[in-house]
Structure 1
Amino acid sequence: MILIKNIEIYSPEYLGKNDVLICFDKIAYISKNIQVPDKNFPEIRIIDGEGFTLTPGLIDLHVHIIGGGGEGGFTTRAPELNLTDFTSNGITTCVGLLGTDGTTRSMGSLLAKARSLDEEGISTYCWTGCYEMPTRTITDSARGDIVLVDKIIGVGEIAVSDHRSSNPSSEDLIHLASEARVGGMLSGKCGILHIHIGDGKKGLTPVFNIVEDSEVPYENLLPTHVNRNPLAFKHSIEYAKNGGFIDITTGIKPEGDNALFAFDVYKTMLKENISPYNITMSSDSGGSMPIFDENGKLLSLKIGLPSTNIETIRQCIENGISMEESLIPLTSSPAKFLKFKNKGKVSEGFDADLLILDKKLNLNTVICKGKIMISNYKPAVYGTFSKPSDS
């Protein structure tokens, strides 16, 4: 058991200064001045929260947990991420996916990695598929994967408006979105088609076409990377105003191209009166961040970093966005949209996935499923093959 005393709480809404009692993997009680009995009571660890802030753990819905990339040949395949890549950056829940390469990487290895990270301490889920269509699955269909595989919540990332995509037709996308929706209905999951938006001239047009030409509702579609260029950004504002949901990539930023910072895009969307609950953010960590010329030639390649989520929250606050609204796209909004019922809030009965931040919004303590993973700014728990040397 853990008792956090006298801490300012953002749930993400402000709850004031309170004590928080954690029992096993749940938030058991939130109140002022919780007292611990002197006798006949389980051992309890007390954390002094004075001067600190408590928030929900971050939910990153787009992570290449087994690595991504490969667009520049075999030497450009990004490596797997380790447990501390997540915990050291406040990510307590992630959704893993493949990406460009569905040939040398498989859904089987993705699912195995997700189970590994879960056993090591964080909560994990998966999208089934990759850029291409017909896409990769574990069972004989995307619907089957969603219904029969516990960790699979939807389909993605399917690429459109990108020279690396398989250029799926509108009918193909509608069929896959429908399969995702029905799979979600049968399993009680979100059943979302998660769509990669590339730098192509069509922008979000393929996504608009799904809505206009089918009965698939907005709640089953999530385009991502909408801040990669002005066209995708412009389309995303229109799409969100119509009732759609969009995902901003925190790992995308201007680097000699026309990409936009995540915090800038989010601030503009709030000014356009788009609800923060129609917006999620994710890092694209572990994936490649390639820059191509106008002919599709690879110019440079970097790896997405999980640190960009907490960095974006800081940038939002520094640029005048409230603490509550800065937290929503990485906590309560993805939890609600992905149907993670007990995540994304500091509330009694919810999972004990929590961050303790200092005044500079640095991570002092990270708690995943009721266990302290980061303590006093340093890892307290390491992954199986990332433990520090004794020497």
Structure 2
Amino acid sequence: MILIKNVEIFAPESLGKKDILICFDKIAYISENTHIPKGNFPEIEIIEGNGLKAAPGIIDLHIHINGAGGEGGFNTRTPEMNLTDFTLNGITTCIGLLGTDGITRNMGALLAKSRALEIEGLSTYCWTGCYAVPTRTLTDSIRGDIILVDKIIGAGEIAISDHRGSHPSENDLIHLACETRVGGLISDKCGILHMHVGDGKNGLNAVFNLIDNSNIPFENLLPTHLNRNSLLRKQCVEYVKIGGFVDITTGIKNEGDEAVSASQLYNTLLKEHISPYHITMSSDAGGSMPFFDDKGNLTKLTRGMPNTNINSIKESIELGIPLELALIPLTSSPAKLLKLKNKGKITEGCDADLILLDNKLNINTVISKGKVMVQNYSPLVYGTFENS
């Protein structure tokens, strides 16, 4: 049992200063002042929360947990991520995925890494597939993967508008979306088709066509990387205004006149009076961040980092967005859209996934599934092969 005393709670809505009692892996009790009974009572670890802010643990729905990349040759394949890459950056729930490379990376390895991180202390899920269409699966279909594999919640990241993808036709995308949706219906999962959108000249046109020419609900489609260029930003606003859901990449920064940060696009969408519950953010951490010239030649290659999530929250605050709103795209919004029913909020009965932030919004403490993973800015728990 853990008792966090006198902490300012953002659930993500502001609840003021309260105590949070954690029992095993759940939030058991939230109160103004919790009194510990005297006598024969189980030992309770006390964490003094005065001067700290409690927020839900970050949910990163697009993260390459077992590495990705390879667009610059075999030596540019990025390595697997370690437990503290997540915990030091406040990530308590992640959804892993493949990317460009569905050959030297595969769904079996992704699922194994997901289970390893779960054992080490995180909550983990997976998207099935990769850029390519037909895409890579564990069973004979996307529908089969979602129904039969507990950790697989949808399909992604299927590439559109990108020279590295397979240029799926309109019927291809409709078929993929239907398979994903039905798999979700049968297994009571989100059944989302998660689409990587590249720098191609068609932008989000394929997604608009999918909506216009099929019966797939908006809730089953989630395009990502929409802050990468001006065309996508414009289409992003149009798409959300007609009811769509979008994911913004915190790992994309201001690059010349094209890309903008996740917080800048989020601020634009809020000014358009768009609900924050139609917007999620994710890091794309663990994946390569390649830059190509107009002839498709690789010019630069960097690696996505998980600290971009908490940095985006800070940047949102600097833009004048209240903390309650700044938290939503990385906590309660992905939890709601992905049907993670006990995640993304600080409420009695929900999973005890919490981060404690100091007055500069630096991460002081991380609790995942009721276990303290980080305290006083330092890891308490390391991954199996990390040097402690």
Aligned to 1:203: 203
Aligned to 2:3: 3
The 4+ residue runs of structure 1 with deviation greater than 6 A are none
Q: What amino acid is aligned across from residue 296 of structure 1 in structure 2?
A: G
C-alpha offsets along residues 227-252 of structure 1, whole Å, 9 cap, x if unaligned? Answer: 01010111111000000000000000
Secondary structure at the aligned position of 1:131 is classed as coil
Aligned to 2:61: 61
- 1:156 aligned to 2:174? no
Q: What amino acid is aligned across from residue 284 of structure 1 in structure 2?
A: D
Aligned to 2:324: 324
Q: Matches of 2:217 and 2:263 in 1, distance apart? A: 27
Q: Matches of 1:311 and 1:87 in 2, distance apart? A: 15
1:39, distance to aligned residue in structure 2 (A): 1.1
Q: Matches of 2:375 and 2:382 in 1, distance apart? A: 12
C-alpha offsets along residues 38-89 of structure 1, whole Å, 9 cap, x if unaligned? Answer: 2111111001111110000000000000111100000110110000000000
Q: Matches of 2:257 and 2:380 in 1, distance apart? A: 39
Q: Matches of 1:146 and 1:181 in 2, distance apart? A: 9
Q: What amino acid is aligned across from residue 8 of structure 1 in structure 2?
A: E
Sequence identity (%):
68
Aligned to 2:351: 351
Aligned to 2:75: 75
- 1:139 aligned to 2:150? no
Q: Unpaired runs of 5+ in structure 2?
A: none
Residues 159-170 of structure 1 mapped to structure 2, 5 A cutoff:
159-170=159-170
Q: What amino acid is aligned across from residue 246 of structure 1 in structure 2?
A: V
1:319, distance to aligned residue in structure 2 (A): 1.0
Q: What amino acid is aligned across from residue 19 of structure 1 in structure 2?
A: D
Q: Matches of 2:275 and 2:254 in 1, distance apart? A: 25
Secondary structure at the aligned position of 2:334 is classed as helix
Aligned to 2:218: 218
Aligned to 2:21: 21
Aligned to 1:103: 103
Q: Matches of 1:35 and 1:77 in 2, distance apart? A: 53
1:256, distance to aligned residue in structure 2 (A): 4.2
Q: Matches of 1:332 and 1:102 in 2, distance apart? A: 31
1:255, distance to aligned residue in structure 2 (A): 3.2
1:318, distance to aligned residue in structure 2 (A): 1.1
1:254, distance to aligned residue in structure 2 (A): 2.2
Q: Matches of 1:39 and 1:250 in 2, distance apart? A: 49
Aligned to 2:180: 180
Residues 35-50 of structure 1 mapped to structure 2, 5 A cutoff:
35-50=35-50
Aligned to 2:86: 86
Give TM-score scaled by structure 1 length.
0.99
Q: Matches of 2:233 and 2:147 in 1, distance apart? A: 33
Aligned to 2:302: 302
Q: Matches of 1:115 and 1:136 in 2, distance apart? A: 19
Task: State the superposition RMSD in angstroms.
Answer: 0.6
1:348, distance to aligned residue in structure 2 (A): 0.1
Q: What amino acid is aligned across from residue 253 of structure 1 in structure 2?
A: K
1:387, distance to aligned residue in structure 2 (A): 2.8
Q: Matches of 2:124 and 2:257 in 1, distance apart? A: 33
Aligned to 2:312: 312
Residues 210-249 of structure 1 mapped to structure 2, 5 A cutoff:
210-249=210-249
Q: Matches of 2:13 and 2:105 in 1, distance apart? A: 40
